[in-house]
Amino acid sequence: MKSIKIQCPAKINLTLEVVNKREDGFHNIKSIMQLISLYDFLDIEISESDKNEILLSGTSNEIPYNEKNLVYKAADLFYKQTQITGFCTKIFITKNIPIAAGLAGGSTDAAGTLFGLNKLYSNPLTQEQLENLCAHLGSDLNVCLNGGCLLATSRGENTKKLPVSCNSVTLIKPKNLGISAKEAYTKYSNKQYKPQNNMTEKMTEALNNGEDIGEFLYNDLEYAVFDDYKELQYIKSKIPDAVMSGSGSTYFVLKNLKDLKFSDDYEIFTDLCFISDGVKVSE
């Protein structure tokens, strides 16, 4: 039996701009994504077995522990790619990243699964092969695999490293509101007016020059869903410079607001910061 513990960080979208809709139904985007110090953890254990099995369990009652889970799909894809057989794989997921929150909780766990299994089996896959599997599974996995601050293009799987600025982060999430990527992108597509702010290019230049990025924070999907949810409007009324991450419903502000007061209907995450790593072995 062999085991490993993997640390899987959340991400926020410092910018997210929708370029166009693709023929495959996804959207091309340009986005600057930043990994932050909020983590899920995976305890992965492999043991020899007469039959190949992937067994999931964890701390959350909001996610499935079967083949519908992206972690299961990642493990299954790893074994198909490597053709390794004769093992039972047990993965325990400690969830700290909220579900359907625009923070890549599912994606980072899937990227962590591929990374962790590759470590356990002494790296049968190259970095390029890991990248390809991540791209196959979803849009944010490559960001979570590589970590730090990244310019993400295409549907999010093409990444380029950018300098990491030193910023504190506070997250605010309505407890009873999750917004799917499908909903957010559909609502954006239905908008007649589509802003062209080019904030991604402006922030890229600011990051490369070591300048403040605050004025360039922006999200097209916030524009798409904001009018439909009083919870989002309430966050913005209390913190005007807060910006939605991904498809929502989490908002972030680049400050450590320890004394922030919201009702019990909201989760507040303080004492977070930008990090330079992606998924990695937990120390």
Which residues belong to the active site? 11, 140
Are the CB atoms for 256 and 168 separated by under 8 Å? yes
Tokens of 220: 């097209």
